[in-house]
Amino acid sequence: MDFDRSSASSRNPATPRPEGPGRLLIVEDDGSLAAGLARALGLEGYSVEHLETGEAALARIAEATFDLVVLDIGLPGIDGFEVLRRMRLSGHAMPVLVLTARDAVGDRVHGLDIGADDYMTKPFALPELAARVRALIRRGQADSGPRTTHGPLELDRAGRRAFLQGAPLELAAREWAVLQILLEKVEKVVSKESFIESLTNWEEDLSANAIEVYISRLRAKLEPAGIRIRTVRGFGYMLEEFKAG
């Protein structure tokens, strides 16, 4: 395993745990290392998921929001740098800690330039990793910035979190992007072409039919709480002003 084994048992039991639940995604193809990290960070109070490929990580990140991604660079298929580049291109603001055996200055600079929040090389001391995880999560929470509200819906734009009637709302990445566009133009019609133009950094196969699918999914999640997305035939969609009751 690529961290100092003795450090795992030296964690100070009095070390304060992070405030609130922390949800971590470890993207690492070394199963033994990933299992050790998941165990150690689980003891710190985090909920941890583990994936072994860049493709799987991008698919999962499109479905869910994490407080931090611990990302290896030397992944099979799509490497970690490409995963990070695509995350940032798609608007994902969740913190990323790069964890890799590559210790060249050029690699570190490249990782930070394309959007990494921190960079650690293997082997590493587990207490230091845990401290960096705590710091990145605290920073992410502090930088969450202003929230957008629409009736019972609340969006934390920087933290990429959504809440409906006070409960976390799971949104896929494109659902999130479509909803943000609608929220910026409440009571104004947004055409399918405008959605597609705004999402041109996503996959090139985005079509008008795809926009219909995302609108349908959003309606299913939001309409039970009284939030209406109206179809304006021949023009597009409009998020109606929220009216309680």
DSSP category for residue 190: B
pTM comes to 0.55
Domain range summary for the chain, segments of one domain joined by +: 5-142, 147-239
CA-to-CA distance for 173 and 183, rounded, in angstroms?
A: 15
What integer pLDDT is reported at residue 5 of this predicted model? 39
Distance of CA 30 to the CA centre of its chain: 22
Q: What are the φ/ψ torsions at residue 58 (nearest 5 degrees)?
A: -65, -40
Domain covering 147-239, topology: Arc Repressor Mutant, subunit A (1.10.10)
163 DSSP β-pair partners: 154, 168
Low-confidence ranges of the chain (pLDDT < 50): 1-2, 4-21, 201-203
What integer pLDDT is reported at residue 159 of this predicted model? 65
Query: Mind listing the pLDDT tens digit for each residue in 127-182?
Result: 999 999 988 888 766 555 567 889 999 887 766 778 898 888 988 878 888 898 89
CA-to-CA distance for 196 and 212, rounded, in angstroms?
A: 11
What integer pLDDT is reported at residue 236 of this predicted model? 94
Domain 5-142 part of CATH 3.40.50.300: no
Domains 5-142 and 147-239 are alike in CATH topology: no
What integer pLDDT is reported at residue 58 of this predicted model? 93
CA-to-CA distance for 27 and 49, rounded, in angstroms?
A: 9
Determine contact, residues 98/57, Cβ cutoff 8 Å: no
Q: What are the φ/ψ torsions at residue 163 (nearest 5 degrees)?
A: -135, 135
